[in-house]
Amino acid sequence: MSLPKLFIERISHMLNDESDAFFATYEKPRYHGLRINPLKITPERLAQIAPFQLKPVPFCHTGFYYKLEDEPGKHPYHQAGLYYIQEPSAMAVADCLDAKPGERILDLCAAPGGKTTQIAGSMKNQGFLMANEINAKRAKALSENIERCGITNALVTNEKPERLANRFAGYFDKILVDAPCSGEGMFRKDPEAIEYWSLDHVKHCASMQKEILDHAYHMLKPGGILVYSTCTFSAEENEQSIDHFLDHYPDLELLPIQKKGGMTDGNPDWSISHRKDLIKTARLWPHHVQGEGHFIAKCKKAHTSTQSENNSQTFTQTAKKCDLKDFYSFEKESLTTSVPGTLFFMKNHLFSIPKDFPDFSGLRIVRTGLHIGEQKKQRFEPNHALALGLDPSNFKQKLNLSSTDKEWASYLRGETLPSNLNKGWTIVTIDNYPIGWGKVANGTLKNFYPKGLRRH
Ligand X SMILES: C[S@@+](CC[C@H](N)C(=O)[O-])C[C@H]1O[C@@H](n2cnc3c(N)ncnc32)[C@H](O)[C@@H]1O
Binding site for ligand X (CB under 6 A): 90, 109-115, 133-135, 138, 161, 178, 180, 208, 212
Q: Is the dihedral of CA 345, 350, 351, 352 positive or negative?
A: positive
- Alpha carbons 258 and 147: distance in angstroms, whole number: 31
Please indicate if the annotation marks 112 as binding a ligand: yes
Please indicate if the annotation marks 120 as binding a ligand: no
Length of the chain: 456
The DSSP bridge partners found for residue 365 are 157
* Concatenated DSSP letters of 164-176: HHHHSTT-EEEEE
DSSP 8-class letter at 51 = S
Q: Which helix H or strand E contains 224, and what residues bound it?
A: strand 220-230
CB closer to ligand X out of 159 and 243: 159
Please indicate if the annotation marks 109 as binding a ligand: yes
Please indicate if the annotation marks 206 as binding a ligand: no
187, 188, 191, 197 alpha-carbon torsion, rounded to 10°:
10
CB closer to ligand X out of 53 and 135: 135
Q: Is the dihedral of CA 49, 52, 55, 56 positive or negative?
A: negative
Q: What single-letter amino acid sits at 335?
A: L
Please indicate if the annotation marks 113 as binding a ligand: yes
Q: Which helix H or strand E contains 12, and what residues bound it?
A: helix 5-15
Please indicate if the annotation marks 170 as binding a ligand: no
CB closer to ligand X out of 152 and 182: 182
CB closer to ligand X out of 115 and 221: 115
Is 231 assigned a catalytic role?
yes
- Alpha carbons 66 and 164: distance in angstroms, whole number: 38
Q: Which of 96, 149, 205, 231 is catalytic?
A: 231
Please indicate if the annotation marks 299 as binding a ligand: no
* Concatenated DSSP letters of 434-456: EEEEEEEETTEEEE-S-GGG---
CB closer to ligand X out of 180 and 424: 180
Q: How far is the CB of 116 from ligand X (least distance, A)?
A: 7
Three-state secondary structure of 104-154: EEEECCCCCCHHHHHHHHHHCCCCEEEEECCCHHHHHHHHHHHHHCCCCCE
- Alpha carbons 282 and 31: distance in angstroms, whole number: 20
CB closer to ligand X out of 110 and 401: 110
Feature table: binding site: 109-115, 133, 178
Active site residues: 231
